[in-house]
Chain A
């Protein structure tokens, strides 16, 4: 249960090695935090991240979670609830960027990316939402991306999965109205992180820390959507209406 300041006791990060997911966890830690669960595929890397979060009062555990293995999602979430109690904030942070236009030309790669980013995210979200509905409170934070606002050719498979996920998350949030559970959709722009290392930064590039800051503020305020940085909301409301011939030529990375 969150307290009056929106400080959660139990935090779960799905994709527990994601830099943005971990940054959000770090920003959410307060004196009321009891447990943080990092659910990820790479347990060794998860343990490293866990060490940085752990303290006298915060129990941090790493559990095995594979976004692609949708059949396991309900059980993994159920086990977390069993071990730690109500889910206060769950951050859905996993996702793969792929290899740009090359991914869009490789059947297996494209399908695998869509499976993790979209199917896996939907499956995990539904498993979480069912729990939140039952407990009558709690927030699912879905890391979307501005890449889904208007899909660019540079990463159109990734962008398409985020477009789909974003739409799903908004609809899920609406469907949870009145149940006490909430969804917060986070739309970061280009984020400097391991996932984007070596790539040319897009305009208004940000950092995991800043995305976390915006996310935590959105949680406290009860927002349904936040952008990081906030200006991207206005940038993309303009970009959405740029005519195709111009859009295709824009130097957006």
Chain B
């Protein structure tokens, strides 16, 4: 098997490690697994988790070959069976023109089905549809011993739910059957509100109107201070119905062809282009460009869900120190804690280019799934910002104090104790892992750093 030692990072391009990277078809997996040494093996999708979740220093990192070209769409049932190595991008290109949409999409379509399951990703519709795992009807899972398990909510549910959100540490998802959403058009009908501060935003989101929309998310300007703290742009949307389309689009209501406009070259000077001044200026523009209130605007899928995908390799804007994401959730009733968190981030001056607030709905049965009912805040910050480590360790304490937790797919900084407090069902997950992987074949830098497999 052709193996090359390659330095790998997450999307944030922070803490690299080198691993033996190999591209394999599913039929080649059992033979490859026999040769794994004590550094273990891990599957890597498109490397869009921000931290070290898809790295395995000194071990084997597997790219699972497969694409959406072998996807099987069951139009009657509204389901698709697809290789885990296929991306949402490929899948959307296949299903949208046929009148279907993925049940959950994150802010980028460049994630694989396997990665979507491993991180139990969520999107703007979490309050409405839950996270990705809820829509997985079955999957086949490559186990460490070389065998393949067929699992689902009704078939070895413990292993199924340990794999949802299991960060790839229970096995390699080979393929999965996903329940899709039927859509009449490839456009979104979007309401936009500009809100002056954080309290108004949270009140507006909590007033029940959120539940009338499938998708809802707010962008917050964390560079704004004082009475403007938390000024934000709330967008809520639904898949547009045929009659909502302007006449010119009605001839081809399901057309879908997202394009990348530009890509960021690899030569961004240290310390990157994003600092407090540029971010504040950008945020000012973004806030002012948003309409005060606009109802029923029509947008494309990519501009509504994946605006950043239009700029390839955008994380390079952060230069050599990279980008650190931090995503937390605090339960409903902890609005004060959220306010204090936002104040602290804003006061720290650690420029957050993108801060996104969203209401989560109910969680699911997966012991390591991140979403739980409450408020979630996602922050993007330049890795080189002074005092950022201290800030995030401080936020960890505030989040745990409020009964919340942070997201594995974004984490690149925290400690094992934080995870143990934030994920009280970790031991349950560990028991399943010990059952299916007693020799600890599946390993990752994230798993080692956070002692996920054991103490």
Contact = CB atoms under 8 A, between A and B. Distances in A.
Interface of A: 1-7, 9, 30-32, 57, 85-86, 133-137, 178-181, 221-222
A4 B16 contact: no
B9 to A, nearest CB: 10
Given A135-B58, A181-B18, 10 more contacts: A1-B52, A4-B413, A32-B413, A136-B17, A136-B18, A136-B19, A137-B17, A178-B7, A178-B18, A180-B5
Given A86-B57, A134-B58, A180 B7 contact: yes
A2 B59 CA distance: 17
A7 B391 CA distance: 14
Contacts of B12: 4
18 contacts: A1-B17, A1-B57, A1-B445, A3-B14, A3-B413, A3-B449, A4-B15, A6-B15, A9-B449, A30-B393, A32-B413, A57-B417, A135-B57, A135-B58, A136-B58, A137-B16, A137-B18, A180-B57
A181 B393 CA distance: 26
B389 A179 contact: no
A216 to B, nearest CB: 12
A5 B388 contact: yes
B3 interface: no
B268 interface: no
A5 B412 CA distance: 8
Which of B57, B383, B393, B412: most chain A Cβ within 10 A?
B57
Contacts of A137: 15-18, 57-58, 445
B324 interface: yes
B18 A3 contact: no
A173 to B, nearest CB: 14
B322 interface: yes
Interface in B16-53: 16-19, 39, 51-52
B415 interface: yes
A86 B15 contact: no
A12 B282 CA distance: 44
A3 B412 contact: yes
B15 A32 contact: no
B448 interface: yes
Nearest to A179: B18
Contacts of A57: 415, 417
A11 to B, nearest CB: 15
Given A32-B415, A135-B39, A136-B57, A180 B18 contact: yes
A6 B324 CA distance: 12
Interchain residue pairs A-B with the least CB separation, the first 10: A180-B18, A136-B57, A136-B58, A4-B412, A4-B14, A137-B17, A5-B389, A136-B18, A135-B58, A1-B449
A180 B16 CA distance: 7
Interface in B410-431: 412-415, 417
A102 to B, nearest CB: 46
Interface in B421-455: 445, 448-449
A34 to B, nearest CB: 8
A1 B388 CA distance: 18
Contacts of B322: 4
Contacts of B7: 178, 180
Contacts of A2: 15
A99 to B, nearest CB: 43
A181 B19 CA distance: 11
A5 B415 contact: no
B15 A1 contact: yes
A222 B7 CA distance: 14
A114 B307 CA distance: 61
Nearest to B10: A4
B14 to A, nearest CB: 4
Nearest to B326: A4
Which of A1, A6, A222: most chain B Cβ within 10 A?
A1
A137 B14 CA distance: 13
Nearest to A85: B448
B346 to A, nearest CB: 20
Contact of A7 (B17, B320, B389): B389
B301 to A, nearest CB: 31
Given A3-B15, A4-B12, A135-B39, A179 B5 contact: yes
Contacts of B415: 31-32, 57
A147 to B, nearest CB: 31
B5 A31 contact: no
A7 B413 contact: yes
Contacts of A3: 14-15, 389, 412-414, 449
A221 B321 CA distance: 7
A186 B383 CA distance: 24
A136 B59 contact: yes
A3 B419 CA distance: 15
Contact of B58 (A5, A30, A180): A180
A77 to B, nearest CB: 15
Contacts of B59: 136
Interface string B399-417: 0000000000000111101
Contacts of A6: 15
Contacts of A30: 389, 393
A134 to B, nearest CB: 5
Contacts of A1: 15, 17, 52, 57, 445, 448-449
Interface string B116-146: 0000000000000000000000000000000
A55 to B, nearest CB: 13
A86 B18 contact: no
Nearest to B59: A136
A32 B415 CA distance: 6
A136 B55 CA distance: 10
B73 to A, nearest CB: 40
B39 A136 contact: yes
A85 B445 CA distance: 12
A180 B57 CA distance: 8
Contacts of A180: 5, 7, 16-19, 57-58
A137 to B, nearest CB: 4
Nearest to B445: A1
B387 to A, nearest CB: 10
A86 B57 CA distance: 10
Contacts of B57: 1, 86, 135-137, 180
A30 B415 CA distance: 11
Which of A5, A57, A86, A222: most chain B Cβ within 10 A?
A5
